[in-house]
Each structure stands twice: as C-alpha cells, then as structure tokens.
Chain A
C-alpha cells in the first residue's frame, strides 16, 4: 500500500470536468513537488503535469494540476474519450529518499 493515496476509479461523460485527488503527508506532498503520469492501455506512462501545475509541451491545456498542503489534484476539463487511462501521482518522499507513486486512478469516460 502506497504512502500516497488516490481513489481507485473516477468517471465522467464527454465534455465534463473530472478531478483526481492525491493525498500524502508532510514528508512527501507537504514538502515536495507533485507530478502526474497518464498511462494509456498497453503503453508506458507519460508525464502530463510536473512541478505541481506545469504542463509539458504537447499536453492539452484541458489538463491542470494544483496542490494545497498535503494534497494534490489533477483536473481534466472537456473530457474526451482519449483521456480514458490510468493516472498516477508521484512525489519525492523524504523518508524513502526517492519518488513514491500513488496507487493509480482508472479514469473511465462513459
């Protein structure tokens, strides 16, 4: 069980806005930056948000990230069928002295 917690599933209809949460502690989210990875079925993970709220080039501006205290969130607005994937938050943990991944959230577009 990861020290960083995500809901196992989330869903939305096309066009909707969905939010995925990531809850941690003072040794990880509370003191370090959060990254979000998207893993489409059968593919390698790809970063969609880094350093809490930064979007890599090529990632649609429908994706946004935020952080407050020991929690972080990934929001996807204008949901599209191609957004259906597993999403993982990741953050450095000072106790582990390395990155820890959340358990992942499976996003279903209904």
Chain B
C-alpha cells in the first residue's frame, strides 16, 4: 500500500507562494502511476488541483493553471506543488494522492491519500 505524507508551511501570506511536498513510500514513484493534488476549503467539498504522470506530463485545473506548477523529484521519492499569488480563497486542506492502477487517466481513481495538511492564507 502506497503511503503519502504532505509537508509544508501551514501559514502563507497573501500574494506569496504556497509550496508543498508529498513524500512517497512503499512504492516506486517511477512506476506507471498518477500523482495528484486535491484541496478542500474548510467546510466545503473536494477540488482537483492537478496531476503529474510518471512520464512527467502534467494536467492542471484550468482555474489554477496560470499559478500552478507540479513537479516530481524521482531521486527524492517525492512530488511537489507550487501555487503563486495566493489569496484567502486558497485556504484549504491540501491532500496528495496517487492512482496506481494501470488504466488510462480517464478511468483512474485515487487509491491512496495523504492525511492532508491545512494551509491558511493570512497576513
């Protein structure tokens, strides 16, 4: 079973950059999997942020695309999220997740999730 653990600052100032890392264990980050970020504002539903494939290809939510970068550091067994110019609307619990079953992206599902990390945007 893949294990995922998010890490990063819990407080970010408005207009600054939010950076989070997801450490992957018990699984090869090089394998044919999808690695994603999902967020959940307090008391609200889930929102897909973006996904990076084992090939390095990335797919971003169009609503965040201009501010978003997702990357993989294979040697470090981790993948990362970088969101620039944050506002209070970016306050949320951020989850990293993996889709490890070898099916096309449109048929995939997130079968492992991290515990989530709360990021608050405030001055």
Query: Residues of A with Cβ closer than 8 Å to B?
Result: 2, 32-33, 35, 37, 44-47, 50-51, 56, 88, 90, 92, 94, 96-104
Contact = CB atoms under 8 A, between A and B. Distances in A.
A98 B114 contact: no
A97 B109 contact: no
A52 B48 CA distance: 19
13 contacts: A32-B106, A35-B110, A37-B110, A45-B38, A45-B95, A88-B46, A90-B46, A90-B109, A92-B108, A98-B50, A101-B48, A103-B45, A104-B46
A102 B111 CA distance: 18
Contact of B114 (A44, A88, A104): A44
A37 B113 CA distance: 11
B45 A102 contact: yes
